[in-house]
């Protein structure tokens, strides 16, 4: 008995080590089961491309075992009624396990055959959440589109400033990193993190970006009109974004 327990423990440790090594080599960070279950019933994905749910949430919400939901998904894939690829998460022991992310159409296909006293109520609740998130996604895309023109205008002004800096301080790296420094400063003010991808920002953060892009453009053009040097304009713009 003791030897069997030791073998099982070593198997878990070995699997966990291999998984961690693979993840590190492939630069992949898998979500945990707890993280997936903490999500709302229906979410907008991190890149704002679609509204979706996952099979773990479906199993939890409909009171079914996840393996049975996976079996239904596999059957539907084999019959050609679903065309989706598996995703993976880490279970409580750190092992890689399969789950699926479903959009509204795939979700409807999977849960159509679910029965039980509360199944219909759960389906309605999910549909309502899909509709709510779809509306939010449309709003996000609208605001994201509205940010494009101010960003282009700001970038045109930044490009002029960069070229002027090259003339004034040709040996410096400041012209080279001007665009990155300004855009990262804008991103940090909007989201709190200079490395946040705009595709991952929410509507309010994008509105802040839009406002700041306008401020950067206007400030560069204003200081340019009064004849300030490019070096001084750069400093003023960065101070503006720092709130100084």
- pLDDT truncated to tens, each residue of the chain (244 aa)? 445 544 544 444 344 434 444 443 355 689 999 999 998 888 888 778 889 999 999 999 888 999 999 999 999 999 999 999 999 999 999 999 999 999 988 998 898 878 777 777 878 888 888 988 899 899 999 998 999 999 999 999 999 999 999 999 999 999 999 999 999 999 999 999 999 998 889 999 999 999 999 999 999 999 999 999 999 999 999 999 987 5
Q: Which of 135, 166, 190 is the last residue of a domain?
A: 135
Residues 161 and 238 placed together within one structural domain of the fold: yes
Closest by CA position to 59, among listed 127, 107, 130? 107
Q: Is residue 71 part of a domain?
A: yes
Number of neighbouring beta carbons within 10 Å of residue 241: 20
The reply to whether 190 and 216 lie within a common domain is yes
Please tell me the predicted confidence (pLDDT) of residue 28: 65
| 15 falls within a domain | no
Query: What is the residue range of 50's domain?
Result: 31-135
Residues 129 and 199 in one domain: no
Please, which residues bridge with residue 52 across strands?
Answer: 43
The answer as to whether 5 is a domain residue is no
- What is residue 6's predicted lDDT score, i.e. its pLDDT? 43
Are 173 and 116 contained in the same domain? no
Same domain, 127 and 170: no
Q: How many domains in the chain?
A: 2
Residue 214 in domain: yes
Do 162 and 115 share a structural domain? no
CA atoms of 194 and 188, how far apart (whole Å): 4
- Are residue 194 and residue 128 in the same domain, yes or no? no
Nearest to 179 by CA among 160, 196, 197: 160
Q: Whose CA is closest to 134, among 114, 172, 105?
A: 105
In a domain, 7, yes or no: no
Query: Which 3 state secondary structure label does DSSP give 98?
Result: strand
Q: Is residue 216 part of a domain?
A: yes
Residue 244: per-residue pLDDT: 54
Same domain assignment for residues 109 and 171: no
């Amino acid at each position: 008995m003791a030897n069997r327990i030791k073998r099982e423990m070593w198997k878990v440790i070995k699997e966990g080590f291999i998984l961690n090594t693979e993840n590190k080599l492939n630069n992949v960070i898998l979500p945990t089961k707890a993280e997936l279950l903490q999500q709302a019933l229906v979410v907008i994905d991190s890149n704002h491309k679609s509204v979706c749910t996952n099979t773990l949430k479906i199993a939890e919400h409909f009171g079914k075992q996840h393996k049975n939901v996976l079996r239904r998904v596999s059957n539907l894939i084999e019959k050609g009624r679903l065309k989706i690829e598996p995703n993976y998460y880490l279970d409580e022991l750190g092992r890689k396990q399969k789950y699926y992310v479903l959009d509204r159409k795939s979700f409807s296909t999977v849960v159509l055959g679910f029965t039980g006293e509360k199944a219909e109520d759960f389906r309605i609740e999910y549909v309502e959440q899909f509709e709510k998130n779809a509306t939010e996604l449309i709003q996000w895309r609208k605001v994201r589109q509205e940010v494009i023109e101010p960003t282009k205008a700001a970038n045109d002004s930044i490009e002029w400033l960069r070229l002027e800096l090259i003339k004034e301080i040709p040996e410096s790296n400041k012209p080279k990193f001007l665009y990155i420094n300004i855009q990262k400063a804008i991103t940090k003010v909007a989201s709190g993190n200079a490395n946040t991808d705009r595709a991952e920002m929410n509507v309010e953060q994008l509105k802040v970006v839009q406002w700041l892009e306008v401020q950067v453009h206007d400030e560069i053009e204003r200081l340019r009109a009064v004849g300030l040097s490019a070096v001084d304009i750069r400093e003023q713009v960065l101070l503006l974004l720092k709130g100084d």
